[in-house]
Amino acid sequence: MLRTAMPTAVPTPPSHPFLSACRGERPSRTPIWVMRQAGRYLPEYREIRSRVSFEALCRTPELCAEVTLQPIDRFGLDAAILFSDILVVFDAIGVPVVFNPSPQVAAPVRTAADVKALRWGRAADHLDYVYQAVRACKQALTGRVPLIGFCGAPMTTASYMIEGGSSREFEHTKAMAFTEPALFGGMLENITTLLIEYLAGQVAAGADVVQIFESWGAAFAPDDYRIHVLPHVRRLVAECKPLGVPIILFVRGNAGLLSQIRDLGADVLGVDWSLDLSDAIDVVGTHQVVQGNLDPLTLLGPAALVTEKAERIVVAGRSARAHIFNLGHGISRHTDPAMLQHLVDVVHRS
């Protein structure tokens, strides 16, 4: 088997600033990585994409490793994030998805019969190419920086299946939750089981940390989120705890949800850019490790503005138990790579 043929990867030293911060220790400098750090704003990524489709890229472990390392080689970031997508898990359950570049699911999953027809049960066994990509990344990183594995949160993941792609209003998802709560809950439960197995597979392959992306937390009003969504996020976090790696929980639209997610047991809470980091720390408490939260589009502005805003966030982060600098959502494809370098330098010298 390929996995035994591969030489053992060099482990990342546990004293690495990003891992220290995840454990709640204050490293000597604020670590930084950015969501979507490998992607279309990088000419070297666009060069690979001119030859390979996004789908093929995700399924080719050596290319995943190459792309994962592109921003590491360039910027001196403190963590790498596996190059993949939250929607590759659809492969496991038999839901075809194409990226144009936004995801499209030609046959949405909306009825009890649709849900039943999917390939549940040890579904994560079908994602071996992702685990191979994790091994290839670890191999290529030679212990330089830790590797973050990831998945979507249950509702965010399900919403793409239910809506058939990206959505503004989430009308099918919410209609399903409100009119057929048992069907919606059962579907999220199945997805959660898959995601637990999937993260376990990534950790077994070498991921040092995992991040859960609840990108569409704001789809539901806080009281509906508490009823229909939160129990599944709670179970996902709880059942991933025994994996023994730090868990980062990023909820976008979390100004209204921080008070719900702060007690789930995640090691790090990712904060989006809709509120000041200091206000987020007031809600979650100074005993929590936080990650965030510069508005990614700040990087389209002048360097002086980036400096000022980043320094303010670093200062705010000092009142948390520990702080990992990040953007409040994924980096824009229109970003000049030189501006990200400027941000990394500002954070590292602050």
Which residues would be at the binding site for ligand CP3 (CB under 6 A)? 35-40, 49, 54, 81, 83-87, 99, 101-103, 150, 166, 213, 215, 330
Which residue, 24 or 330, has its beta carbon nearer to ligand CP3? Answer: 330
Two tokens, residue 153: 């949160």
Which residue's Cβ has the minimum distance to ligand CP3?
A: 215
Which residue, 28 or 102, has its beta carbon nearer to ligand CP3? Answer: 102
Cis peptide leading into 254, omega within 30 of 0?
Answer: no
Which residue, 29 or 49, has its beta carbon nearer to ligand CP3? Answer: 49
Distance CA 211, CA 150 (A): 5
Which residue, 31 or 321, has its beta carbon nearer to ligand CP3? Answer: 31
Distance CA 32, CA 291 (A): 9
Minimum Å gap between C-beta 240 and ligand CP3 is 17
Please confirm, yes or no, whether 160 is among the known catalytic residues: yes
Confirm if 270 and 250 have CB atoms less than 8 A apart.
yes
What does DSSP assign to residue 123?
A: G
Catalytic residue among 36, 144, 234, 312: 36
Minimum Å gap between C-beta 87 and ligand CP3 is 5
Q: How many residues does the chain have?
A: 350
Task: Select from 102, 150, 167, 189 the least CA-distant residue to 270.
Answer: 150
Going 219 to 221 to 224 to 229, the CA torsion angle's sign is: positive
Minimum Å gap between C-beta 148 and ligand CP3 is 8
Catalytic residue among 26, 29, 40, 144: 40
Minimum Å gap between C-beta 320 and ligand CP3 is 22
Going 68 to 72 to 73 to 75, the CA torsion angle's sign is: positive
Task: Select from 119, 349, 257, 350 the least CA-distant residue to 271.
Answer: 257
Please confirm, yes or no, whether 144 is among the known catalytic residues: no
Going 60 to 62 to 64 to 67, the CA torsion angle's sign is: negative
Cis peptide leading into 17, omega within 30 of 0?
Answer: no
Which residue, 85 or 267, has its beta carbon nearer to ligand CP3? Answer: 85
Confirm if 232 and 154 have CB atoms less than 8 A apart.
yes
Minimum Å gap between C-beta 107 and ligand CP3 is 18
Minimum Å gap between C-beta 53 and ligand CP3 is 8
Please confirm, yes or no, whether 225 is among the known catalytic residues: no
Catalytic residue among 41, 59, 78, 85: 85
Which residue, 115 or 130, has its beta carbon nearer to ligand CP3? Answer: 130
| Count of Cβ atoms closer than 10 Å to residue 112 Cβ | 12
Which residue, 45 or 184, has its beta carbon nearer to ligand CP3? Answer: 45
Helices assigned H by DSSP within the chain: 2-5, 17-22, 43-49, 54-58, 61-75, 89-93, 112-116, 128-141, 154-163, 171-179, 181-205, 222-228, 230-240, 258-261, 277-284, 303-317, 337-349
Which residues are annotated as catalytic? Answer: 36, 40, 49, 85, 160
